Structure 1
């Protein structure tokens, strides 16, 4: 992003990036909101995402953490970014109709941003925190 974008343009830009990710499209991920220091991804839970106990597989939660952290940090860094590392803590088994990952930038420099996210399980209008993550996002350009 060479010129500053309006909030609507920034969200459209971020959604265009998500649309170019075949894995995200296959899962059915949606970028609900995004700005220069925040991103929210939602994912409907399907039976193919469950593990043997009927909970959402940890790999699905890791995907949401990775992608939401990178969108939040990447938009802060100008748009072209990659995950350098991230850590996730699973707090409770993920169950519900939808997962929502809310990521925010904690701090940023010219080449990297540290971001945190919370992943919520949503069922019948109620949300429960099921995981938290933190990561370092680096400029790829």
Structure 2
């Protein structure tokens, strides 16, 4: 199976919540997915950083797409652990996920979430996640 980014983008666009957040699939290859989300004020908490739910959504969605790139689109997140390292204050979130192991029923995926933009150049690591995705 060769991953098709156009098909994957269509699946993402079919998710109302993903459309609400403005999520875009910027990379989709065998074992790898990258998701970007514009970080508007509606996704920030009272201290100005991105709400943890926005980072968690980015990690969950990226790791599920990475798993789907090797297991097909009939997958669901079974579990995910996330560590928040620092507040994301940039203009955009970037979640990069990579398959660690693909078994016959479960796929283990690692994801790093960065912020980019704002008052500085480059990307800054804000969270790391590890998830298990089940084939349906």
Partner of 1:128: 124
Q: Quote the Cα distance in structure 1 between the aligned partners of 2:109 and 2:8.
A: 17
Say if 2:24 is the partner of 1:30: yes
Regions of 4+ moved over 3 Å: none
Q: Quote the Cα distance in structure 2 between the aligned partners of 1:23 and 1:125.
A: 29
- Listed as ranges, the gaps of 5+ residues in structure 2 are none
Partner of 1:55: 49
- Residues 74 and 138 in structure 1, CA contact (< 8 A), matched pair in contact too: no
Query: CA-atom RMSD, angstroms?
Result: 1.0
Deviations along 1:87-136, whole A, 9 cap, x unmatched?
00000111101010000000011211000000001015410000000000
Greater displacement, 126-135 / 116-125? 116-125
- Listed as ranges, the gaps of 5+ residues in structure 1 are none
Partner of 2:75: 81
Deviations along 1:46-88, whole A, 9 cap, x unmatched?
0111101111000000000110010001221122100000000
SS at match of 2:77: strand
Q: Quote the Cα distance in structure 2 between the aligned partners of 1:43 and 1:129.
A: 15
Q: Quote the Cα distance in structure 2 between the aligned partners of 1:91 and 1:125.
A: 19
TM normalised by structure 1 equals 0.92
TM normalised by structure 2 equals 0.95
**1:39-50 alignment to 2 at 5 Å?**
39-50=33-44
Q: Quote the Cα distance in structure 2 between the aligned partners of 1:137 and 1:52.
A: 32
Partner of 2:133: 137
